[in-house]
């Protein structure tokens, strides 16, 4: 069996299993999830041993330290993995929810029912914990999953998959509902993103280069996440105290996350009063400031910002700063340079707040809150399969609902169309 035949066989099995998992009741799905969590705790030693094999191979291959770090499972990490799976079991089942049922003049009653997408392909890199996490979310939302993790984590992923299969079987569900691609052949990804007949959506979890490549080649719809070039705009009518705290939290709480602010826009009327204090706070935390000419006048330590800086997701203690005339320039700047991820205004002005909410074309738009809140857990989704920067299907943090669709249902009493 060559790689194409193998992937199509995986796809066919996933499609067949998707029917069973779609009609499984909440109880069976939750039973499977709890059994998986129990098995992860019971077999922690087995999982750590499999992970040690991956780490040894990765070490011998000279993989860089950051990658080794992401690849490493720990006893504590496994406990968190099991707990994560149990948390998904505790979430409401999105499948079967009926909404909007209304009688029509013809006599029929029309509404919508939430249904699984079918087969979800997850493509990810070194982190083996994604295997359990993604399997749990797909299972709970009634989807079959094909998981294609990084080749460096193949032993860990196989070991986790064995426990997922055990959990599925114990609840009377087909183990093929969650399949880990059993080959490190890179061509597997190419087939996975081309099998429209077997795969309904691709969710990539990884760096921008992975996602850009998949996006260019995928024939299957993707829930994709590209840049997080997030802004905080301090409006003319900002509360200075809130402005300082929101900039501090948005920029400095964590530097490497996609919802970290990378750019600060400041209304001219407040610049002299506010920018020096904000800059002092940032500089004290070790953040490099790259600013416009007005910023440079007010902040001695700032360096000039290039046009490219305003379009950059630094993922580092660097921030671009621009003094703007007001909300019009701010909105235009954000829609032009931003990545449509998350942007916040600090303002006490009702009209400015409403305009910002309406006119900023981003997945999350905030008033007087830190951009760091853009997160499935903070939004109350209970879990997150990813954050979408796309507009079709799902925007922003994607939870269980993002792995479902809605079909129309019609309840009649023998009505016909006239």
Could you list the residues that contact its own copies (CB under 8 A)? 19, 22-23, 96, 102, 104, 106, 108, 110, 113, 115, 117-118, 200-201, 221, 239, 241-242, 245-246, 248-250, 253, 335, 344, 357-359, 361-370, 372-374, 378-380, 390-393, 395-397, 405-417
Residue 11 near residue 195, CB atoms below 8 Å: yes
Shortest CB 265 distance to its own copies, Å: 18
Residue 220: count of CB within 10 angstroms of its CB: 19
Measured from the CB atom, the residue of 126 and 374 that comes closer to its own copies is 374
3-state secondary structure of 24: coil
Shortest CB 64 distance to its own copies, Å: 30
Tokens (6 digits) for 360: 């900023």
Measured from the CB atom, the residue of 280 and 411 that comes closer to its own copies is 411
Measured from the CB atom, the residue of 64 and 241 that comes closer to its own copies is 241
Measured from the CB atom, the residue of 160 and 220 that comes closer to its own copies is 220
Measured from the CB atom, the residue of 168 and 203 that comes closer to its own copies is 203
Q: Which DSSP symbol is given to 372?
A: G
Specify burial of residue 216 (Cβ count, 10 A radius: 0-12, 13-18, 19+): exposed
Measured from the CB atom, the residue of 305 and 345 that comes closer to its own copies is 345
Distance (Å, rounded) from C-alpha 48 to C-alpha 75?
8
Shortest CB 367 distance to its own copies, Å: 5
Q: Which residue is associated with the tokens 């969710």?
A: 203
Shortest CB 152 distance to its own copies, Å: 31
Angle in degrees, CA 82, 86, 92, rounded to 5: 155
CA neighbours closer than 13 Å in the CB half-sphere of residue 65: 0
Tokens (6 digits) for 34: 């709890």
Distance (Å, rounded) from C-alpha 313 to C-alpha 231?
10
Q: Where are the alpha helices (DSSP H) in 43-177?
A: 44-60, 65-71, 75-90, 129-140, 154-170
Shortest CB 19 distance to its own copies, Å: 7
Q: Which residue is associated with the tokens 């904000």?
A: 278
Distance (Å, rounded) from C-alpha 87 to C-alpha 383?
8
Measured from the CB atom, the residue of 158 and 242 that comes closer to its own copies is 242
Shortest CB 228 distance to its own copies, Å: 14
Shortest CB 162 distance to its own copies, Å: 30
Residues 6+ apart with CB under 8 A from 294: 268, 271, 323
Shortest CB 58 distance to its own copies, Å: 33
Beta bridge partners of 233: 265, 345
Residue 263 near residue 337, CB atoms below 8 Å: yes
3-state secondary structure of 234: strand
Shortest CB 248 distance to its own copies, Å: 7
């Amino acid at each position: 069996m060559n790689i194409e035949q193998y992937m199509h066989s995986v796809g066919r099995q996933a499609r067949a299993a998707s029917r069973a998992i779609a009609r499984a009741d909440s109880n069976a799905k939750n039973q499977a999830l709890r059994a998986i969590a129990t098995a992860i705790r019971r077999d922690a030693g087995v999982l750590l041993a499999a992970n040690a094999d991956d780490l040894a191979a990765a070490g011998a291959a000279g993989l860089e330290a950051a990658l080794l770090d992401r690849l490493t499972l720990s006893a504590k990490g496994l406990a968190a993995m099991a707990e994560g799976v149990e948390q998904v079991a505790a979430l409401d089942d999105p499948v079967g929810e009926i909404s909007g049922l209304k009688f029509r003049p013809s006599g029929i009653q029309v509404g919508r029912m939430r249904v699984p997408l079918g087969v979800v392909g997850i493509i990810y890199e070194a982190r083996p914990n994604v295997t359990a996490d993604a399997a749990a979310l797909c299972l709970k939302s009634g989807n079959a999953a094909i998981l294609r993790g990084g080749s460096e984590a193949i032993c860990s992923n196989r070991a986790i998959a064995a426990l997922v299969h055990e959990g599925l079987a114990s609840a009377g569900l087909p183990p093929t509902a969650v399949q880990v691609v059993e080959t490190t052949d890179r061509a597997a990804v190419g087939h996975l993103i081309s099998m429209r007949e077997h795969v309904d959506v691709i969710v990539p979890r990884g760096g921008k280069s992975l996602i850009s490549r998949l996006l260019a080649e995928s024939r299957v719809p993707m829930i994709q996440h590209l840049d997080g070039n997030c802004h905080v705009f301090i409006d003319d009518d900002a509360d200075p105290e809130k402005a300082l705290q929101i900039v501090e939290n948005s920029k400095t709480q964590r530097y490497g996350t996609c919802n970290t602010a990378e750019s600060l826009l400041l209304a001219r009327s407040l610049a002299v009063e506010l920018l020096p204090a904000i800059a002092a706070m940032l500089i004290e935390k070790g953040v490099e400031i790259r600013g416009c000419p007005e910023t440079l006048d007010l902040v001695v330590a700032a360096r000039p910002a290039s046009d490219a800086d305003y379009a950059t997701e630094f993922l580092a203690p660097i921030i671009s700063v621009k003094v703007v005339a007001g909300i019009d320039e701010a909105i235009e700047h954000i829609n032009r340079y931003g990545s449509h991820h998350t942007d916040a205004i600090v303002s006490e002005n009702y009209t400015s707040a409403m305009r910002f909410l309406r006119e900023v074309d981003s997945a999350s738009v905030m008033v007087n809150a830190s951009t760091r809140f853009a997160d499935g857990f903070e939004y109350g989704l209970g879990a997150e399969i990813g954050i979408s920067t796309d507009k079709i299907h799902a925007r922003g943090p994607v939870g269980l609902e993002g792995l479902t669709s809605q079909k129309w249902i019609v309840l009649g009493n023998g009505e016909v169309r006239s």
